[in-house]
Amino acid sequence: MEHLVLTVIAADQPGLVEKLASCIAEQGGNWLESRMARMAGQFAGILSVAVPATQQAALVEALQALAGAGIRVQLASSGVAPAQAVRHISLDLLGNDRPGIVRDITRLLSRHAINVEDLQTEVLPAPMSSDLLFHAVARLAVPQGLTLEQLQAQLETLADELMVELNLQAD
For the chain, counts of helices (H) and of strands (E): 4, 8
Per the CB < 8 A criterion, the answer to whether 87 and 144 are in contact is: yes
Closest CA relative to residue 87, chosen from 150, 24, 28: 150
Per the CB < 8 A criterion, the answer to whether 123 and 101 are in contact is: no
pLDDT number for residue 4: 95
pLDDT number for residue 81: 56
Mean pLDDT, the chain, as a whole number? 92
Grade residue 79 by pLDDT with cuts at 50, 70 and 90.
Answer: low
CA distances from 70 to 4, 21, 63 (A): 21, 15, 11
% of residues, the chain, pLDDT over 70: 96
Give the residue-averaged pLDDT of 90-99. Answer: 94
Looking at 24-33, 72-81, 101-110, 150-159, which range is the least confident one?
Answer: 72-81
Using CB atoms within 10 A of its CB, is residue 48 exposed (0-12), middle (13-18) or buried (19+)?
Answer: middle
Tens-digit pLDDT profile for residues 9-48: 999 999 999 999 999 999 999 999 999 999 999 999 999 9
pLDDT number for residue 148: 87
pLDDT at residue 129 greater than cutoff 90: no
pLDDT number for residue 85: 83
pLDDT number for residue 77: 81
Q: Domains in the chain and their CATH numbers?
A: 2-77 (3.30.70.260), 86-170 (3.30.70.260)
pLDDT at residue 95 greater than cutoff 90: yes
Phi–psi pair at 79, nearest 5 degrees: -110, 150
